[in-house]
Chain A
Amino acid sequence: MFGLGDLNLTYLVSITVVSLYVSTVAVLLSAAIGLPVALTVGFRDFRGKSIVTSIISTGMGFPSVVVGLVVLLMLSRSGPLGELELLFTPEAMIISQTILALPVLVSVSLSAVQSVPQDLRDAAFATGGTSVDVALLVVREARYGIVTALLAAYGRAISEVGSVLIVGGNIVFSDSTSFTRTLTTAITVEARKGNIETGIALGAILLALVLTVNALGARFRDRNSAGGNR
């Protein structure tokens, strides 16, 4: 049996905070970029639309280590964004997680936006709505799907290992507080060191976070879909 009494609380808490911070900011950034993209693609008919949606869907399968490698090259001292000196910082991890979460968020929310019947958009327009009003109505009607998109993006971000390991460097200070170590990268390190009990505790925290976020999403969906169809 493993004893949990020797676990370093400071270590666990700081890693959890870094994970939450990086994933939450990445998902917020993805939403800020991705929702307008989903609305624009969902609303407009243009040449090559099916190609654009295919590219977005393909993005969901991006290998995270490849994304990490590309971000590493961009942020490295000799890279185009080297002057920003972001490599091996939480901000670099946010960039890579945003890139990974973005296609998931766009793809799922695009599907939600496109599922809003044209009749509702027409009704909003014919009742005096501007294009902004119609877009807001579509977001409101697609809210369950958009929440699902946020949850999926959050799941992709918080469970990510490869790219954050490459661009974050998995750094912990000498006082055991994390700088760029996340729950996932910590689990790989602790497992490799044979600290199974710490790994299990980190895994439990990660699962609890994912479950909490999904439970909040499910609660939102249930509360808002109480009306039902007759």
Chain B
Amino acid sequence: MSETHHTADTQSPSGESRQLTRLAACNLSHGFGDGVVLEDISLAVEPGEILAIVGPSGTGKTTLLRLLAMFEPPDRGTVEVDGEDVWALSDDQRLALRRRIGMGFQTRSLFSASVSDNVAYGLRVRQSWGERLRSAIENVVGRRDPAPSVERALETVGMADKMHRDARSLSAGEAQRVAIARALAPDPDVLLLDEPTSNLDPRNTAAIESAMREARSHGIAVALATHDMQQAQRVSDRTAVLLDGTCIESGPTDRIFENPADDRVRRFIEGKLVY
């Protein structure tokens, strides 16, 4: 059963007030070469909600998330943060918006460093070069303690006890949890997760779903791309169904799963629409 009734506070985990952010795709179309991957997609992820973007593999979920994360401009349409077209802004303005978004990937994406260094990466790149130099020197002489937000992010995914481990020694599930902590540490307003639990065991899946719920409780807008329909039903408030690169239906998760308007969505949910 999805959780459609929740109250999002507007405080970040550090206790500071959060800027509530709405991230939207407006009439997005995108392709690679001659192939069209996304066709006229419009959807938005609102503050304090989890939006599940579901659909079979290869339907464009990852491409959609990458466009929302501003990896590249769409062929047509706009990506908007609080109504502002991000590709109409200067590089610096877009970087500032990009830094309000965190992202977790499907594949193993940890750097060859300790767990805490991985999680601190987003904080480090936001520092001035002078601060970075000072941190690097402190790191060499062994005086640097992890930032409080690094510890908090690791606690959120239940990995605080492995803070000093080498990231390369982690299991796949642990690595995925650390990657999500890395996305959470800079305290983003939006969290994009691309199939974060595919091939993970139930314990790691539960830890990641718990982190999503906690992010939502702090007013973070969470977009989750998944082909796991049960997961979408468990955690999301709203669901958007992508088939063949188009969003054929979106709405409250309960309604989508119990009474879908589109017959293809019904068949997909029932596992009868085979690709």
- Chain A residues at the B interface, C-beta cutoff of 8 Å: 117, 119-120, 122-130, 133, 137, 140-141, 224, 226-230
B109 in contact with A128 (CB, 8 Å)? no
Closest residue on chain A to residue B66 by CB atoms: A122
B166 at the binding interface (Cβ < 8 Å): yes
Contacts of B88 in A (CB 8 A): none
Name the contact of A125 in the complex, choosing from B71, B111, B168, B192 (C-beta under 8 A). Answer: B71
Name the contact of B166 in the complex, choosing from A117, A125, A227 (C-beta under 8 A). Answer: A227
B126 in contact with A123 (CB, 8 Å)? no
Whether A141 touches B112, Cβ cut-off 8 Å, given contacts A127-B186, A133-B125, is yes
In whole Å, how far is A137's beta carbon from the nearest beta carbon of chain B?
7
- Type the 1/0 row for B84-111, where 1 means its CB is closer than 8 Å to any CB of A: 0000000000010011011101011111
Whether A127 touches B95, Cβ cut-off 8 Å, given contacts A120-B109, A227-B166, A228-B168, is no
Kindly list the 4 A-B residue pairs having the minimum CB-CB distance in the complex, ordered from nearest.
A227-B166, A126-B103, A123-B109, A227-B168
B111 in contact with A140 (CB, 8 Å)? yes
B167 at the binding interface (Cβ < 8 Å): yes
In whole Å, how far is B142's beta carbon from the nearest beta carbon of chain A?
15
Name the contact of A127 in the complex, choosing from B122, B168, B170 (C-beta under 8 A). Answer: B122
Contacts of B122 in A (CB 8 A): 127-128
Contacts of A130 in B (CB 8 A): 95, 125
Closest residue on chain A to residue B69 by CB atoms: A126
Q: How far is the CA of A229 from the CA of B110 in the complex (A)?
A: 12
Interface size, chain B (Cβ < 8 Å): 30
Whether A123 touches B125, Cβ cut-off 8 Å, given contacts A137-B111, A227-B168, A227-B169, is no
Residue contacts A-B, CB under 8 angstroms, 18 given: A117-B109, A119-B105, A119-B107, A120-B111, A122-B71, A122-B109, A123-B103, A124-B121, A124-B125, A126-B105, A128-B125, A129-B121, A130-B95, A133-B125, A137-B111, A141-B111, A228-B169, A229-B168
Q: How far is the CA of A149 from the CA of B183 in the complex (A)?
A: 33
Contacts of A128 in B (CB 8 A): 95, 98-99, 122, 125-126, 186
Contacts of B171 in A (CB 8 A): 230
B177 at the binding interface (Cβ < 8 Å): no
Q: How far is the CA of A125 from the CA of B101 in the complex (A)?
A: 11
Most buried by B among A124, A126, A133: A126
Contacts of A124 in B (CB 8 A): 111, 121, 125
B179 at the binding interface (Cβ < 8 Å): yes
Q: How far is the CA of A119 from the CA of B104 in the complex (A)?
A: 11
Contacts of B166 in A (CB 8 A): 226-228
Q: How far is the CA of A227 from the CA of B162 in the complex (A)?
A: 13
B108 in contact with A127 (CB, 8 Å)? no
Q: How far is the CA of A128 from the CA of B119 in the complex (A)?
A: 12
Kindly identify, within residues 138 to 171 of chain B, every residue whose CB is under 8 Å from any CB belonging to chain A. Answer: 166-171
Kindly identify, within residues 220 to 242 of chain B, every residue whose CB is under 8 Å from any CB belonging to chain A. Answer: none
Contacts of A120 in B (CB 8 A): 109, 111
B168 in contact with A230 (CB, 8 Å)? yes
Contacts of B95 in A (CB 8 A): 128, 130
Whether A127 touches B169, Cβ cut-off 8 Å, given contacts A119-B107, A119-B109, A122-B109, is no
Q: How far is the CA of A130 from the CA of B95 in the complex (A)?
A: 8
Q: How far is the CA of A127 from the CA of B117 in the complex (A)?
A: 13
Q: How far is the CA of A124 from the CA of B111 in the complex (A)?
A: 9
Contacts of A141 in B (CB 8 A): 111-112
Q: How far is the CA of A226 from the CA of B69 in the complex (A)?
A: 34
B216 at the binding interface (Cβ < 8 Å): no
B182 at the binding interface (Cβ < 8 Å): yes
Name the contact of A126 in the complex, choosing from B102, B112, B170 (C-beta under 8 A). Answer: B102
Q: How far is the CA of A226 from the CA of B111 in the complex (A)?
A: 14
Whether A127 touches B121, Cβ cut-off 8 Å, given contacts A229-B169, A230-B170, is yes
- Type the 1/0 row for B170-212, where 1 means its CB is closer than 8 Å to any CB of A: 1100000001001100100000100000000000000000000
Q: How far is the CA of A141 from the CA of B192 in the complex (A)?
A: 25
A127 in contact with B112 (CB, 8 Å)? no
Name the contact of A227 in the complex, choosing from B69, B99, B107, B112 (C-beta under 8 A). Answer: B112
Contacts of B109 in A (CB 8 A): 117, 119-120, 122-123
Most buried by B among A125, A128, A137, A227: A128
In whole Å, how far is B20's beta carbon from the nearest beta carbon of chain A?
19
Q: How far is the CA of A119 from the CA of B109 in the complex (A)?
A: 6
